[in-house]
A and B are shown apart, each in its own frame.
Chain A
Amino acid sequence: DGGITQSPKYLFRKEGQNVTLSCEQNLNHDAMYWYRQDPGQGLRLIYYSQIVNDFQKGDIAEGYSVSREKKESFPLTVTSAQKNPTAFYLCASSIVGLAGGPYNEQFFGPGTRLTVL
């Protein structure tokens, strides 16, 4: 079955530690995204990548880093510089096409809940 997997489902971090959240997709999608979700805030874009070895900052990139070495994988590192990292993190992917095409439907993974102790 094609889809997006995120691991782990729950993650606990001590203050001052970096942690990496995994996101893998087998949908053959070019674009991948990371969102942060807080209660009552909706989804806020952290980083996105439209092609391997390239990625762009979203609205709240400070304190986060990403890499895109393979088409299938887009790991997110939450660094110690992120002041309030406790949140639900969602990874998504979509195809990329020509302008005007219906290419913005994003498919989401099940999420990782990060808690800072």
Chain B
Amino acid sequence: AQSVTQLDSQVPVFEEAPVELRCNYSSSVSVYLFWYVQYPNQGLQLLLKYLSGSTLVKGINGFEAEFNKSQTSFHLRKPSVHISDTAEYFCAVSDRYYGGSQGNLIFGKGTKLSVKP
């Protein structure tokens, strides 16, 4: 069965510092990988996705993530964060082969990023 582990539940960081939010997954098949962001009391918004091709994926708001198949990781990074990046971030995985429930997304428990001035 698939699972997603977000290694840090909370990450405090100062404004303009770099940040990395870690995500590891387990799956017996090839996968698609996603990062979503959630601002307080709102729905989830897609930041970026890995479907195939280049393992370095660039998303919105200056975020990027690197797919590492050997380490089954998909860590999210930003070189310089802003106060407005304060939010909760979710990593998600789904099977590449769609059928029945196999295509459903499995979410990690989230990482709360807190950017301090």
Contacts and interface: CB of A to CB of B under 8 A. Distances in A.
Interface residues of B, number: 26
Nearest to B109: A42
Interface stretch (B58-66, B68-76, B77-85, B96-104): B96-104
A6 B6 CA distance: 28
A62 to B, nearest CB: 17
B107 A98 contact: no
A6 B44 CA distance: 13
Interface residues of A, number: 31
A8 to B, nearest CB: 13
A13 interface: no
A110 B46 contact: no
B104 A41 contact: no
Contact of B9 (A40, A101, A108): A40
Contact of A100 (B34, B43, B96, B104): B96
A29 to B, nearest CB: 13
A109 B41 CA distance: 11
Interface of B: 9, 32, 34, 36, 41-46, 49, 51, 90, 94, 96-99, 101, 103-105, 107-110
21 contacts: A4-B43, A6-B43, A33-B104, A40-B9, A40-B110, A42-B107, A43-B107, A90-B43, A99-B98, A102-B32, A102-B49, A103-B98, A104-B34, A104-B98, A104-B105, A105-B49, A107-B46, A108-B43, A108-B44, A109-B43, A111-B42
